[in-house]
Amino acid sequence: MHAWRSLTIRSTGTGAASHRHQRGFSARPAILWAPGLVETDDRRYERLGAKIRAMCRDSAGPGYCVVGARGEIALGNTLRGLASASELAKSPIEFMVRWHEEQEGRALRFRCQIHESWGEWKQRWFQLDSRVRKPLSVTPNTDVEKLAEAMAVTHRKLSGVAFELNPNNNAVLSIAAKALATTPRKAHREEIGAGLVCALRWPSMDHKEASTRVYGHVYWRTPPDENWEVPPQSGRTASSPARDSG
């Protein structure tokens, strides 16, 4: 098993600018809910990605952010947002996914964090068995449980998993997100499942002819010490979850 180091890249600030930065963070939600409902604005994922990127880099915060998503559209926007944020940040935004019971029903929560640059990430990824680079395919008909099982088995054999997604298909993105949340309980050891993370790449996302696929990469990192699934009690409130019929 390859253990990836947990070095967090954070921006720094001093003086008045730092105090303004800290005040700005204190007003941010403990849970950033992904937009759902309608699909009239196909750039909402970019705004979500920008918020994720800013919160992960905020030196006044905990160094990570938690995104909540319920329904197919919201899950699609979350994965698109994470993929676009990773490309624009020039660093992979790693995330782990868990099922969570909310008042409105079951939802997914994503713990997002920046640990290293893409250059450092690629050095580690390409040290793995070359077979890991052959991605699993996800379609609208893919079974969540079977995909999660395939991810767990492949990770056990190769210490990593790759998969490819159609970024324009919310059903595909939703299935992938649910599988990522299900994979930890399929792992052969509890501590392995607890540390499974994912990073998304969206090559040439600004060029439509070259951005027809988003690539996911699953691997293990030392699990966080804190119970990130419990919202921090620091006066911040969670943003309202968007209802989604998906």
Q: Would you kindly state where each structural domain of the chain is located, as residue ranges?
A: 15-220
> Which residues make Cβ contacts (< 8 Å) with residue 223, sequence separation at least 6?
191, 194, 195
- Per-residue pLDDT band at 235 (split at 50, 70, 90): very low
Q: Which of 74, 66, 93, 73 is nearest to 82 (CA)?
A: 93
> Could you give the maximum distance between any two Cα atoms of the chain, in Å?
54
What pLDDT, on a 0 to 100 scale, did the predictor assign at position 108? 97
Compute the mean pLDDT over every residue in the chain, rounded to the nearest whole number. 82
pLDDT digits (tens, 9 = 90+) for 76-94: 999 999 999 999 889 999 9
pLDDT digits (tens, 9 = 90+) for 90-110: 999 999 999 998 777 889 999
The yes-or-no verdict on residue 8 having pLDDT over 80 is no
For the sheet with 105-114, list strands across it.
32-33, 64-69, 105-114, 93-102, 196-201, 214-220, 161-165, 136-137
Q: What topology does CATH give the domain 15-220? A: Translation Initiation Factor IF3 (3.30.110)
Once rounded to an integer, what is the mean pLDDT over residues 188-200? 94
Look at the pTM and tell me if it is higher than 0.85. no
Place of tokens 């680079």: 133
Which 3-state string (H, E, C) describes the chain? CCCECCCCCCCCCCHHHHHHHHHHHHCCCCCEECCCCCCCCCCHHHHHHHHHHHHHHCCCCCCEEEEEECCHHHHHHHHHHHHHHHHHHCCCEEEEEEEEEECCEEEEEEEEEECCCHHHHHHHHCCCCHHHHCCEECCCCCCHHHHHHHHHHHHHHHCCEEEEECCCCHHHHHHHHHHHHHHHHHCCCHHHHHCEEEEEECCCCCCHHHCCCEEEEEEEECCCCCCCCCCCCCCCCCCCCCCCCC
Distance (Å, rounded) from C-alpha 14 to C-alpha 129? 44
